[in-house]
Structure 1
Amino acid sequence: MSLILTTDSVEPKERLAYWNDMICATYVQLETDAVQSDDFSGSIVTHRLPGMELSVVKSSAQKVLRTPHVISRSSDDFFIVSLQTQGQAIISQDGRDAHMSPGDCCVYDSTRPYTLHFGSGFEEIVLKFRRDQIHALLGGTELLTATTVEGHTGAGRVLFSLIHTLLNEIDRLRPAAAAAVANGVVNVLVAGLQSLPACKKAELSNLNAYHVARIRQYMDEHVRDPSLTIEMMAAHLGMSCGHLHRVFKNEAMSPSQYLWSQRLDACSRELIDLRKANLSVAAIAFSWGFNDAAHFSRAFRERFHCSPREWRQQAAAMAIAQGQRSADERG
């Protein structure tokens, strides 16, 4: 479902304040510094997909700030990606400045201060993810913020192509397909970040990376087993529990956190799969290794900021809206 916000219907003298409210409601709590003028304008078109929010922003020159004071008053915990499509931008965080031209992309973290500077009118595509989604796949992200990923080659080019295709087809995607595409976007984004020099410097040794991959593969293969424990994994893989934990010392998630994350993600996908509509929430949770419905609901809400039932209802509403649009197009 899409949400369109614009300053067009607002009196010129009230547009800056209205715009600041718009970006705070769409992204995180922010402060906007822009020159008051009668021709200031801005619009945001937001599409909400399972696991990702995608928006297209068009506006006049401005500076957007995420200050320590603002951070102290909010609990926003997101990883945000800007893909520049028109105009120039400078994104600053963690002592670095990314100079953005059309075709470039860059990431920043809502838990630390940052500044977005647009010297003239611009357009950008913004992706917003839960921070733990990215941290589950990539450690050391504080080394990768405010660093330009060029969009004319490699993973950056693939990401731009994927996002443009998604924007063209987003109103026709069923919820399960949209979730799969969002997951693909995350994987391509991680591939792009892994190509950055700072990420390569922080890579684990080949032997340690080998053990991490073995452990994750074992968890992926046994993710549905409710009796799976660290002790079982260690015994099967021929290592002590202490060694297994040491292998994950530099990872964004511990082995247990990774396992629960995989289970929650699997449940989130099945809850919006129309082929699983006859299954109860509890049945889906139990099939993915959870053995306590109340614990599952709490963990799901903490991860996705809504209950499993609300997640499923949102997907059903999206499917109904898409069906209505298809009927209108045929009519």
Structure 2
Amino acid sequence: MPLTTIDTSSVAERDRLDFWRSTVCDQFVTLDVRPGAGPAVRGSVTAAAVGDIQLRTIQAGPHRFDRTPGQVRGADEDYYQIALARHGSTLVAQDGREAVIEPGDFVLYDSSRPFTFVTAGDFAYSVCLFPKRLIPLSEVELREATAVRIDGRRGVGAMIPPFLAALQRLDDDDLVPAAREAMHRTIGDLYTTVIRSEIDSAAPDGVHLSRARAHIREHLADRDLDPASVAAACAISVSYLHKLFSATGTTVTAHIREERLQGCWRDLARPELAGLTVAAIGARWGLPDPAHLSRAFRARFGVSPSTHRSGAH
């Protein structure tokens, strides 16, 4: 993919502070940017993209970055982000938690809520900004995984550093639409895997919840899929099933609807399925009523199924 590098050394010293603040806000999200060096700030950002996925590297001297409530309210797009530390030590705060990340560690954070980054000195990060609307997780699940230090050298976390490095080398211009859409799914699944590995690992009910989610994924085309059938397949009571999903901030029915809509979103962008009508794709995911699908799809993603399809193709 074409890489764009923006460096403070390219402008006169008297203009660098304003230039740097504008660069950071343009390439990430709107932030209060306070470099420790003041007007003599030095730093660079490298930017690239794969479809809707934004990839950034940033390096600079000591800084404090704050995402304020006012900036959150004025946002055009919400991103769930991974920041992988390459150099330096950084304190990250969000949702009442604090984590210190050092080289090899990474942290998840959400641009739809305030957060703070404070570096102890020079720093460098690799950052992946992924549209929050494409992650099939409840708000509670997303919130519980922010500002938690994750070791990028072992376990599930070890998938992140090489994957980000590979994305940086990928040429987006060489990807056909189907491959680009598959990349979106892969990265969305990676975020989901990392998040659930963090918040489910300590939960005693994690096994039952995982079984329920797996059963739902395998039977989304079944129009009769409902809490009773899921509970029966998992050999638990309906009330216990509701309790499991309630603890994640959602309901069984809402989870089924989200999984179905995510499936429709992906299939509508696949060129090899262009011959299928929107109704046929909805039926593949257990949403055979075109009017209901259109309303639910627009409410979830902000566009109609047909608009999403034409834009993707």
Task: Using structure 2 for the length normalisation, give the TM-score.
Answer: 0.79
Go from structure 1 to structure 2 and tell me whether the alpha carbon gap of 1:285 and 1:38 turns closer, same or farther (over 3 Å shift): same
Instruction: Tell me the CA shift for residue 179 of structure 1.
Output: 3.5
- Report the counterpart of residue 16 of structure 1 in structure 2: 17
Q: Per the alignment, in what secondary structure is the counterpart of residue 248 of structure 1?
A: helix
Instruction: Tell me the CA shift for residue 41 of structure 1.
Output: 3.7
- The equivalent position to 1:250 in structure 2, one of 229, 247, 250, is 247
The number of equivalent residue pairs is 310
Asked whether the equivalents of residues 159 and 185 of structure 1 are also in contact (C-alpha less than 8 Å), the reply is: no
- Report the counterpart of residue 34 of structure 2 in structure 1: 33
- The equivalent position to 2:257 in structure 1, one of 257, 260, 269, is 260
- Give matches, 1:42-81, under 5 Å: 42-49=44-51, 52-74=53-75, 77-81=78-82
| CA distance in structure 1 between the partners assigned to 2:2 and 2:282 by the alignment | 29
Identity of aligned residues (%): 28
Asked whether the equivalents of residues 49 and 175 of structure 1 are also in contact (C-alpha less than 8 Å), the reply is: no
- Give matches, 1:95-106, under 5 Å: 95-106=96-107
Q: Per the alignment, in what secondary structure is the counterpart of residue 247 of structure 2?
A: coil
Asked whether the equivalents of residues 5 and 22 of structure 1 are also in contact (C-alpha less than 8 Å), the reply is: no
- Using the TM superposition, name which of 36-45 and 268-277 deviates more: 36-45
Asked whether the equivalents of residues 135 and 253 of structure 1 are also in contact (C-alpha less than 8 Å), the reply is: no
Matched, 1:219 2:216: yes
Equivalent residue letter for 2:109: Y
Go from structure 1 to structure 2 and tell me whether the alpha carbon gap of 1:63 and 1:155 turns closer, same or farther (over 3 Å shift): same
Go from structure 1 to structure 2 and tell me whether the alpha carbon gap of 1:285 and 1:75 turns closer, same or farther (over 3 Å shift): same
Equivalent residue letter for 1:174: V
Q: Per the alignment, in what secondary structure is the counterpart of residue 223 of structure 1?
A: coil
Go from structure 1 to structure 2 and tell me whether the alpha carbon gap of 1:153 and 1:222 turns closer, same or farther (over 3 Å shift): closer
Can you give the 5+ residue segments of structure 1 that lack an aligned partner in the other structure?
Answer: 317-331
- Using the TM superposition, name which of 265-274 and 227-236 deviates more: 227-236
- Give matches, 1:225-304, under 5 Å: 225-231=222-228, 233=230, 241-304=238-301
Can you give the 5+ residue segments of structure 2 that lack an aligned partner in the other structure?
Answer: none
TM-superposition CA deviations, 1:282-318 (whole Å, max 9, x none): 43233322234344344334444444444444444xx
| CA distance in structure 2 between the partners assigned to 1:70 and 1:235 by the alignment | 46
- Report the counterpart of residue 204 of structure 2 in structure 1: 204
| CA distance in structure 2 between the partners assigned to 1:72 and 1:159 by the alignment | 30
Go from structure 1 to structure 2 and tell me whether the alpha carbon gap of 1:163 and 1:213 turns closer, same or farther (over 3 Å shift): same
Equivalent residue letter for 1:155: V
- Using the TM superposition, name which of 73-82 and 131-140 deviates more: 131-140
| CA distance in structure 2 between the partners assigned to 1:274 and 1:305 by the alignment | 22
Task: Using structure 1 for the length normalisation, give the TM-score.
Answer: 0.75
| CA distance in structure 2 between the partners assigned to 1:96 and 1:229 by the alignment | 36
Go from structure 1 to structure 2 and tell me whether the alpha carbon gap of 1:26 and 1:279 turns closer, same or farther (over 3 Å shift): farther
Instruction: Tell me the CA shift for residue 74 of structure 1.
Output: 4.4
Matched, 1:156 2:153: no
| CA distance in structure 2 between the partners assigned to 1:59 and 1:173 by the alignment | 32
| CA distance in structure 1 between the partners assigned to 2:237 and 2:150 by the alignment | 40
- Report the counterpart of residue 176 of structure 1 in structure 2: 178
Instruction: Tell me the CA shift for residue 275 of structure 1.
Output: 1.2
Instruction: Tell me the CA shift for residue 106 of structure 1.
Output: 0.7
- Using the TM superposition, name which of 264-273 and 52-61 deviates more: 52-61
Asked whether the equivalents of residues 66 and 114 of structure 2 are also in contact (C-alpha less than 8 Å), the reply is: yes
Instruction: Tell me the CA shift for residue 147 of structure 1.
Output: 2.3
Instruction: Tell me the CA shift for residue 265 of structure 1.
Output: 1.7
Instruction: Tell me the CA shift for residue 267 of structure 1.
Output: 1.7
| CA distance in structure 2 between the partners assigned to 1:108 and 1:38 by the alignment | 29
Go from structure 1 to structure 2 and tell me whether the alpha carbon gap of 1:235 and 1:158 turns closer, same or farther (over 3 Å shift): closer
